[in-house]
Amino acid sequence: MDPVLNPYSPGAGRKPAALVGRDQPRTDWQVALDRVEIGRSAQPFVLYGLRGVGKTVLLSDFRRAAADRGWIVAQVEAGAGKSLRQALGETLHAPLADLARPSAGRRLASALKTALSFKASYDPAGTWNFGVDVAGAPGGGADTGVLETDLRKLVHDLAAAADEEGVGLAILIDEAQDLDPAELVALCAIAHAAAQDDWHVLFAVAGLPSLPRVLTEAKSYAERFNYHLVKELRGSVAADALTKPAADDGVAWDGAAVGLVVEESAGYPYFLQQFGQDTWNAASGSRITYDDARVGVATGRGALDTGFFRVRWDRATRAEQKYLRAMAEDGDDGSSSGEIANRLGRRATSFGPIRANLIAKGLVYAPEHGVIAFTVPGMAAFINRQPTS
């Protein structure tokens, strides 16, 4: 079928034509937005799960829901070469510029002044100008250099401005497992303060399955955050991810074709999109048949092997690949670090740097102490298919 019209969207963070199976967190998020708007607190949302399950897509859906209500919204990705301070500061420029006007209320003027001081804390030469005279306004002082102090001041003042505007402030952080320890502590402490005093702010963070542990280790009250495990899609919901986008274009999937793709993808959203895309391209007319799905799955697997899996494998050094191979013997469920060291004939401690590098590269994570697992479903099988050299 016409590849130009192909409705499937394999790729990191790419919005699917049909966002299926996430009704609960989306409803919960709407309730939290409602609560904040009437001055009640809502705990931060934590979206966690393996790579390719749809965390970023859900986080972006949260962002749109807040933006649709006219909220002040900042979405950033941790670990993308910028500190949290800088990433948040820069992202806030556009929404603040949109809000700024000469008739700005007192709280908005002080929030703008605080934002200017926050900007100066990481970019002394920076020249933001909101076209609003903030000289006489209270605010400012978010430039002590201590992240928790400065961020607290910024979030507090922006949330107060949002309240004055009849909306809220939403702060969304993707890949949050990559925040550094001081950033995690600051974030948890500020979210805690906000919840205690009903600031008009709502946080959402997304990251790998290690994120809940990382947060609660930073601050124990992170246990009360609102955790959502983002998982593979099951049965008829996974089927919807395939059939709904096609139906919108007047194309129907045969039941057997859907069954094959759902089974072969194990319901993982990324794989559903990949196989869906390749099956569409293999089909002709306005029906997708079992044979089209067989071709699509085979083509899709090839694409995953040369793309999705390959880029991760190539990111590992030879020594790291050796470690990953030893892990792959246990499949996708995780391995004991001690057992892997045994397999490789060395002491577990000597693999500390390799493990740390693999975690930093996002290839593996530690579900619990002494255990190590792949962040990508199907990685073990991919590795086992690679020739040893």
**Residues forming the site for Mg ion (CB under 5 A):** 55-56
**Among positions 112, 185, 222, 241, the unique one binding ligand ATP when judged by CB under 6 A:** 241
Single out the segment in contact with ligand ATP by CB under 6 A; choices: 16-24, 31-39, 213-221, 293-301.
16-24
d(CA 17, CA 7): 6
Nearer CB in complex with ligand ATP: 269/296 = 269
**Among positions 1, 6, 7, 9, the unique one binding ligand ATP when judged by CB under 6 A:** 9
Nearer CB in complex with ligand ATP: 59/147 = 59
Residue 373 · residue 334 · CB < 8 Å: yes
153 binds ligand ATP (CB under 6 A): no
Beta-carbon contacts of 179 under 8 Å, excluding residues fewer than 6 positions away, are: 78, 79, 84, 173, 187
Given its phi and psi angles, is residue 361 left (phi above 0), alpha (psi -120 to 50 degrees) or beta?
alpha
> Taking CB within 5 to 8 Å according to partner kind, which of Mg ion, ligand ATP, none is near residue 95?
none
**Among positions 1, 6, 7, 20, the unique one binding ligand ATP when judged by CB under 6 A:** 20
d(CA 365, CA 342): 20
Closest CB 259 distance from Mg ion, rounded Å: 28
Closest CB 58 distance from ligand ATP, rounded Å: 7
d(CA 271, CA 258): 13
Comparing every residue's Cβ against ligand ATP, the nearest one is 54
> Taking CB within 5 to 8 Å according to partner kind, which of ligand ATP, Mg ion, none is near residue 276?
none
Nearer CB in complex with ligand ATP: 29/199 = 29
51 binds ligand ATP (CB under 6 A): yes
> Taking CB within 5 to 8 Å according to partner kind, which of ligand ATP, Mg ion, none is near residue 53?
ligand ATP
Integer CA distances (angstroms), 13 to 128, 174, 294, 334, 380, in order: 30, 10, 26, 25, 23
**Longest C-alpha distance within the chain, in Å?**
72
d(CA 69, CA 56): 20
Integer CA distances (angstroms), 153 to 56, 140, 143, 163, 386, in order: 27, 8, 9, 15, 52
**Among positions 45, 62, 118, 270, the unique one binding ligand ATP when judged by CB under 6 A:** 270
Nearer CB in complex with ligand ATP: 117/265 = 265
Closest CB 313 distance from Mg ion, rounded Å: 19
269 binds ligand ATP (CB under 6 A): yes
Nearer CB in complex with Mg ion: 56/243 = 56
53 binds ligand ATP (CB under 6 A): yes
Closest CB 20 distance from ligand ATP, rounded Å: 4
> Taking CB within 5 to 8 Å according to partner kind, which of ligand ATP, Mg ion, none is near residue 356?
none
Residue 58 · residue 25 · CB < 8 Å: yes
378 binds ligand ATP (CB under 6 A): no
Nearer CB in complex with ligand ATP: 232/320 = 232
> Taking CB within 5 to 8 Å according to partner kind, which of Mg ion, ligand ATP, none is near residue 5?
none
Nearer CB in complex with ligand ATP: 89/362 = 362
13 binds ligand ATP (CB under 6 A): yes
Binding site for ligand ATP (CB under 6 A): 9-14, 16, 19-22, 49, 51-57, 241, 269-270, 273
